[in-house]
Amino acid sequence: MISSILPAILPTVGKLVDKIFPDEEANKREKLKIEQELLKQLQSVDLAQIDVNKVEAAGNALQRSWRPTIGWVCALAFAYHFLVQPMIVFIASISGHPIPLPDFDMSALMSVTMGLLGLGGLRTFEKMKGISK
């Protein structure tokens, strides 16, 4: 996040340094110090993120794979609702034993599924544009 706002901040900081240090040599020296400090801060943020990634990767399988798990649950629910349940009802009715199976609320399932698909689509778009790593 910080790296995305740096291009907007650096020109303004450069103008401030130009006003404070009219001497060209001092100006260059101060700009270099500021850039080095910003790079150091960015590096510390990256290192902190690496530590967070290590902790998350060391977690159990449910912590690491909650999104795919929810995706599979949604896929299984869709399979049941649109394939399995109608086939069970059809087979039971032609065998002379109709079974009224309960119907579940598809609106809640659709909300979760569309949310996952939207986030997955956005992530794919970011990767294609080279925005994310």
pLDDT band at 121 (very low <50, low <70, confident <90, very high): low
Dihedral over Cα of 67, 73, 79, 82: its sign: negative
Q: Please report where in the chains the tokens 């900081």 appear, as a residue.
A: 13
Q: Could you tell me if 37 and 50 are in contact, meaning their C-beta atoms sit under 8 angstroms apart?
A: no
Structure tokens at 50: 């690496």
Query: Could you report the per-residue pLDDT of 105-118, keeping only the tens digit for each?
Result: 888 888 888 887 77
Q: Where along the chain do its domains lie? A: 1-58, 60-133
Query: Could you report the per-residue pLDDT of 4-42, keeping only the tens digit for each?
Result: 677 777 777 777 778 887 888 888 888 888 888 888 888
Instruction: Measure the CA–CA gap between 81 and 106, rounded to whole angstroms.
Output: 9
Q: What is the DSSP letter of 102?
A: P
pTM of the model: 0.44
